[in-house]
Amino acid sequence: MKSASTLLLFLLCALPFMATAAQPPIPAPPSKLPAKGYVLLDFNTGKTLAELNADERLEPASLTKIMTAYVVFRELEAGNIRLTDRVLVSEKAWRTGGSKMFIEVGKQVDLEDLLKGMIIQSGNDASVALAEHVAGSVESFAKLMNAHAERLGMTNSHFTNANGLPDPGLYTTARDIARVAMALIREFPNYYAWYRTPEFTYNDITQRNRNPLLRSDASADGVKTGYTKAAGYCLVGSAKRGEMRLVSVVMGSASPSARAEASLALLNYGFRFYESHRLYPAGQPVETLRVWYGDQEALPVGPQADVFATIPRGTYGQLSARLERTSDLHAPIAMGARLGDIVISKGDEELTRVTLVALQEVAEGGLWRRVKDGLLQLF
């Protein structure tokens, strides 16, 4: 956005940048990891910390179920379905091959159990049952998946089923899968808690969560494994240490151990050499701006969303902030109206910008105020 005016923010109390000693450059990301494609992202900012073939179309296998869960969670939030719904198991769901929750044809299963069976046990049968309950058929459900994928900006993805079994029209990328995984974590934190559940028992059969990161990294809390012969071994991982959360996607590894080692290498690299800071909370005043022709002259403004920055460790003191206004402010101004951007930079590099909004309403002033301000602006 090109602004009509730019104000420097000297907000040491709000953004306490401290001088730091010069830091050596961080090493390059891990190379030659055993995967066809991978990506490592900071959850708070979406910044890419490492990647290889991140936009190459690959078969997702059971990583597809992340999108399946996202669609079901959206339907739950919309009130179209409930966790207590009793779902009738069709013959198609029961006959689905691959990993199973072991539901039985003709029986009714709580929707919550189906979700846990899909998330924790990676049940292909549960995925089909959920798709049929939500949309009437797997084909109709796939249309919902593709609609949400388009809305999330997953431009290199196409879904044809709910479980990830091989299909010529089923494909995604490491970056796209990371995008829906982050949307799921951000929008549905309560449901996301199921992804770290160590095991689930249904029909007197107990199965462990297939995610190896849950047993090797105490900070890991998700997300999903996948495997077919064509796709290879895949793993979406997420871990949180302090305020920093990272999301890794590894696709096309040759073995379960290879995908786990690659995922851990990416996560450890990100946490070791980068840091994520929340600089301004959403709605916190960061400046007071002059308003013309209003019933008040001063208007507190702040960011519409939390302002985060992802930076190499030890470079916090190199951050700077500025406020870019769209124009002079003339009343009336509605609360929440966009007034510009807060821009965070490190040296000459712009890191992020977040919309600046009015934190109060300013009504139009009386005749005397309008005349006075008109004269002040004139001279």
In the sheet with 329-330, reading across from the earlier edge strand, the strands are 5-8, 319-325, 338-346, 349-358, 298-303, 287-292, 329-330
Q: In this structure, what DSSP letter does residue 156 have?
A: T
> What would the two tokens of residue 339 be?
């007034």
Task: Report the catalytic residues.
Answer: 62, 65, 122
C-alpha span between 44 and 186 (Å, rounded): 9
β-bridge mates for residue 169, sequence order: none
Nearest to 65 by CA among 147, 168, 184, 216: 184
> What would the two tokens of residue 359 be?
């934190």
Q: Is 192 exposed, middle or buried (CB count within 10 Å of its CB: 0-12, 13-18, 19+)?
A: buried
C-alpha span between 354 and 91 (Å, rounded): 50
> What would the two tokens of residue 75 be?
């339907």
Sort residue 124 into left (φ over 0), alpha (ψ -120 to 50) or beta. alpha
Nearest to 127 by CA among 61, 177, 186, 222: 61
Q: Is 330 exposed, middle or buried (CB count within 10 Å of its CB: 0-12, 13-18, 19+)?
A: middle
